[in-house]
Amino acid sequence: MTLDNINWAAVDRIIRVDHAGEYGANRIYAGQMAVLGRTSVGPVIQKMWDQEKDHLKKFNELMVAFRVRPTILMPFWNVVGFALGAGTALLGKEGAMACTVAVEESIAHHYNNQIRTLMEEDPEKYEELLQVIRKFRDEELEHHDIGLEHDAQLAPAYAVLKSVIQAGCRVAIYLSERF
């Protein structure tokens, strides 16, 4: 991707928030593994976490390439992400998977909005970034489906839990884009 004539404000916002989101996802999976890592669902969580580690690595590279500063909320997302992962895992594998479904559904929606924004502006100019976002969106949707396959909907108060987590995701996205 050439750096000529790009919408720096949009790219800055996209990379910052996506970096924060992938960092948060890593912390969520770390919390889930702390509680469920030695159970039968541990390898499933580990596989999803490994993909999130790759996502974070890529956004770390993009942060440097585009000289984007991280959100000032990183220390907060560090604690909140781990607490969310561990807290939902304490509800059992169903709670952890409900968290995965809620977060990944929110992130896929968020990535779709970014794809739409970049496509409307100039798909050729942003092709490299679009490829990254599309790939990661597809992997997030795989995680969503894995969560459903592993009984997310059997979590206690699933609908309420999912709604609360998704509201938190919307707030995290809003804040991380701006700060």
Judge whether 144 is annotated as a binding position: no
Judge whether 19 is annotated as a binding position: no
Phi, psi of 156 (to 5 degrees): -60, 130
Please report which residue ranges of the chain form alpha helices under DSSP H. 8-36, 42-65, 74-89, 93-121, 127-149, 158-178
Judge whether 140 is annotated as a binding position: yes
CA neighbours closer than 13 Å in the CB half-sphere of residue 178: 6
Judge whether 109 is annotated as a binding position: no
* Residue of 91, 79, 93, 94 lying closest to 28 (CA atoms): 79
Judge whether 52 is annotated as a binding position: yes
* Residue of 29, 158, 141 lying closest to 83 (CA atoms): 29
Which residues lie below 8 Å from residue 44, measured CB to CB, with a gap of 6+? 146, 150
Instruction: Answer for the pair 147, 161: CB distance below 8 angstroms, yes or no.
Output: no
Judge whether 128 is annotated as a binding position: no
Binding residues for Fe cation: 22, 52, 55, 104, 140, 143
Binding residues: 22, 52, 55, 104, 140, 143
